[in-house]
Structure 1
């Protein structure tokens, strides 16, 4: 499925820094015990695009449900945040739009080169685990209509909800 954004057009080659950093991060996920419980990286032949399987945490409204995140890394990662979206079917969550875009500060304005795939995944697991009920964002239909084919990184996000 084409979600728009970096994976829908020709990508620039990763810088050496990005290549080294992603190779090191991928190695962390290749051990028997992944750095984030309930998550695993699928075999990938590309260091600049990862698929991460997410299993809902025990006791959460997503318990044992599985979802897939797609990470697409820009040429100058970690200076620029990766594009991270849920592939279909997406979790019904107040911060996850039905097209897979995620309203989460660390993916946009809150990004820092000190963050890693692991820290992003921990933030996503925390976001999912803190939800008390399932449902789409209140502006889901309008957002989907207005962002057809665009990367979530082209959205001007308003972060106003610290509670999920």
Structure 2
């Protein structure tokens, strides 16, 4: 069995390769990655630049930290949005993202998610960030991290309230330093 420092070293080498690939990729529009601190490959700073044609968050630039555990890729990283934190059904008030693919690879004790929806070592930083961008395109209000945002999104979809769109637009302006 490998020691934790050996697995941490292997994780670090994998992350260095993955970061280099993402920084060189020409086909990842709207995603920019770098390190929070040059001496720590396990903590990335990410900028997600949401396409202007996105219904609610179009034009927003949202900064987040993607923090990998030493046991990566066997266990998932954590993604936490930095201030201003987007008003979104799948983002907790502290900025932490709630998305199935970042939940540990085990049975869901609440029965909301199948094991196949949770973390798998086949996921990469690229697939994670593409999934996050798709959540901005189509927020999930089924098992929300932000109950108020989910309620307002449902009301928006039903045509009974436009507050969700207003809050999202404010969020976009804040992300651009306009508020």
Q: TM-score, normalised by structure 1?
A: 0.68
Is the contact made by 1:36 and 1:121 (CA closer than 8 Å) also made in structure 2?
Answer: no
| Correspondence for 1:123 among 131, 156, 171 | 131
Q: Deviations over 1:8-28 (max 9, x none)?
A: xxxx85623202210110111
What's the secondary structure of 2:131's corresponding residue?
helix
Runs of 4+ deviating beyond 3 Å: none
Distance, in Å, in 2 between the alignment partners of 1:56 and 1:98 is 20
State the Cα RMSD in Å.
2.6
How many residue pairs are counted as aligned between the two chains? 127
| Correspondence for 2:68 among 65, 73, 85 | 73
Q: Partner of 1:50 in structure 2?
A: 44
Distance, in Å, in 1 between the alignment partners of 2:12 and 2:90 is 31
Measured after TM superposition, the shift of residue 48 of structure 1 is: 0.8
Query: Which 5+ residue runs of structure 2 have no aligned equivalent?
Result: 105-117, 150-179
Distance, in Å, in 1 between the alignment partners of 2:66 and 2:28 is 15
Measured after TM superposition, the shift of residue 36 of structure 1 is: 2.6
Q: TM-score, normalised by structure 2?
A: 0.63
Higher helix proportion (structure 1 or 2):
2
Query: Which 5+ residue runs of structure 1 have no aligned equivalent?
Result: 1-11, 141-164
